[in-house]
Amino acid sequence: MKILIVLTSHGVIGETGHPTGVWMEELTTPYYAFIDAGAEVDLASTAGGQVPVDPNSMAEKDRPESVERFLDDAPAMEKLKHSLNVDHLTADPYDAVFLPGGHGTMWDLPENTALADLLTTAFAEGKVVAAVCHGPAGLVNVKDTEGKPLVAGRKVSAFTNSEEEAAGLTHAVPFLLETRIRDLGALYERGPDFQPHAVRDGRLVTGQNPASSPRVAELVLEAIG
């Protein structure tokens, strides 16, 4: 079993100047769920190389165990420092492609044609496609085998508009992810704000927020079979 995790390379929230990047828990919790299930896991990003990490996701208070494990895992940290460039990858070696969130994804994932092509091909080839929180921003330009938006007519969860409002970033992000997913024809699903909610629609797995990461990972492994 081999899984590709694709991360953001974007490190600033719009015009605010505030640093962002991947939300660490959304990487580390699924990463170890996959590793502990016996998978080989590659880390890639839109630009390759060092992946920016949202500093708010690294606060020591209540830091998830998976984050601590990752920080103490030298090979894993090397993967994060020297991520593969998604431009140079194909879906062929992988059973699943997973997109963690963090606000950085809202800027670079949607417009990355190499990523969209890789995900379109992966789904067409019977692979699992998954994302959590803001990670579904990387799905907005992905197509299904009929050329329609991959999310159209499928159950999808993602960071809610009300969660974005609670984060105070409604006017900082380039678009509201819930609204965009709905506009693409998805059967959008959500739970209470900041509570775990994940959904699997066949080989498409999505989750609402950081707390949804463990369940998303479980559903990915279930979908791989």
Which residues are part of the catalytic machinery?
133-134, 164
Reduced to 3 states (helix: H, G, I; strand: E, B; else coil), residue 180 is: helix
> What stretch of H or E contains 165?
helix 161-166
User: CA 190, CA 25: separation in Å to the nearest integer?
Assistant: 20
Radius of gyration in angstroms for the set of CA atoms belonging to the chain, rounded to a whole number = 16
Residues 6+ apart with CB under 8 A from 65: none
Cα torsion angle, 194, 200, 206, 210, sign = positive
Residues 6 or more apart whose Cβ sits within 8 Å of residue 3 = 34, 39, 40, 41, 42, 94, 95, 96, 97, 98, 220
Closest CA to 99 of 182, 108, 143: 108
Inter-residue contact 18 to 201 (CB < 8 Å): no
Structural contact between residues 132 and 100, judged by C-beta atoms closer than 8 angstroms:
yes
